[in-house]
Amino acid sequence: MWPIMKITYREMISKRIFTITILMSLAFLLLFGVATWYAAREMNESWGGRASDMLLQKNFFSTQLLGMGLYFGSFITALLAILSSVGSIAHEVESHQIDTWLARALPRHRYVLGKFGGLTSMLVLYALLMFLGILGINQWVGGGMLAVDVSAQQIGTSLGYFILMPVILVCVSLLLSSITTTVTGGIILIILYGISFIGGFVEQIGSILGENALINIGIISSLLFPTDSLFRQSTVALFEAAEDPISFASQGIFGTTSPPSQLMFFYTLFYGAATLALAVRLFGKRDV
């Protein structure tokens, strides 16, 4: 399995999409840092010594800015996960590069799991650095004005949800890559991600308006593809303090008024494991 993981690392690093994503991520973090710095300076100048009086507004702005950064961070992590994994098996089958690997004494399940290990470890590392980069900017560049007050436990839990998203995406991506072509798999996966993305917003709007139909649409879309619920769980874990009676996790456009249940988290884990198991099974049965 290790040689397949190793070659997956090499492949990812050698791809232009990976280099571009890294460069664009750095550009994003730089921009986010500059925006945070200016926002903190502006708030300092506007509110100055009255900061304690404006605590609600300060907390609202700081969680909004951090929430926005994390949302964009999760979005580019998802895109990188989709683009780097959807062709990982399908492209090799299409080009017949896979023939010499599978003609070795290598069980097919090890090939799929090697791909899974290589892709997820790289993407988890990327998501981890992205999350910590955004949070670090908020804490250090934002200073006293924009730094969201979070505990280590909150960061750990939120990070756990955040890095689980690319893992789930890789599981589904490998399933599609095992049974279909790169282009078909890519289209299906982007549509699924889009459904989850839109469904998440629809559910939150439904929750604000008290519309059950909209909430149900959101739940169904999360059951179909549960990545958005992971982002919601991540922000809820980060912004919702038990001792704070006012929930900042529910505020603004990236807020979560209808937080996913714990059951949804277990469903997401099951979803990932089931799609990976299905990928292994179907790839073992197909002709290459």
Partner 1 sequence: MSNYVIETWDLSKQYNGKAGCKNITLQVPRGSVFGFLGQNGAGKSTFVRTMLGLLHPTAGKAVMLGHPIGTVESRQKVGYLPELFRYPDWLTGQQLLEHHAQLCGLSRSQGRAVIRDVLEQVGMAGRERERIRGYSKGMQQRIGIACALLSDPELIFLDEPTSALDPIGRKEVRELITRLRDQGKTIFLNSHLLSEMESVCNYVGIIHRSELVVHGDWRKLSSVAPQVELTVEAASFSAGEELPAFVTESRLLREAASRATWLLTLDQDNRVPALLQALVGRGAAVHEVVQKQQSLEEVFLYWVQKKEGEAHVADHENHV
- Residue 288 as a binder of partner 1 (CB under 8 A): the answer is yes
Applying CB under 8 A, among 45, 96, 152, 263 the residue interacting with partner 1 is 96
DSSP secondary structure letter of residue 88: T
Structural Rg of the chain based on CA atoms: 21
- Residue 156 as a binder of partner 1 (CB under 8 A): the answer is no
- Residue 22 as a binder of partner 1 (CB under 8 A): the answer is no
C-beta separation of 111 from 200 below 8 A: no
Residue 252: other Cβ atoms inside 10 A = 14
> For partner 1, which is the closer residue by CB, 12 or 82?
12
> For partner 1, which is the closer residue by CB, 16 or 50?
16
Q: Which amino acid is at 20?
A: I
Applying CB under 8 A, among 3, 144, 156, 194 the residue interacting with partner 1 is 3
Calpha distance 211→259 (Å, rounded): 15
Calpha distance 42→172 (Å, rounded): 44
Applying CB under 8 A, among 45, 48, 50, 105 the residue interacting with partner 1 is 105
Calpha distance 228→262 (Å, rounded): 14
- Residue 89 as a binder of partner 1 (CB under 8 A): the answer is no
Applying CB under 8 A, among 102, 179, 205, 223 the residue interacting with partner 1 is 102
Applying CB under 8 A, among 45, 49, 103, 152 the residue interacting with partner 1 is 103
Whole-number minimum distance, CB 21 to partner 1, in Å?
Answer: 17
- Residue 107 as a binder of partner 1 (CB under 8 A): the answer is yes
- The H or E element spanning position 95 is helix 90-95
- Residue 287 as a binder of partner 1 (CB under 8 A): the answer is yes
Closest residue by Cα to residue 68 from 113, 134, 136, 146: 134
Calpha distance 132→192 (Å, rounded): 27
- Residue 7 as a binder of partner 1 (CB under 8 A): the answer is yes
Whole-number minimum distance, CB 122 to partner 1, in Å?
Answer: 16
Applying CB under 8 A, among 72, 101, 201, 267 the residue interacting with partner 1 is 101
- Residue 2 as a binder of partner 1 (CB under 8 A): the answer is yes
Calpha distance 11→89 (Å, rounded): 12
- Residue 6 as a binder of partner 1 (CB under 8 A): the answer is yes
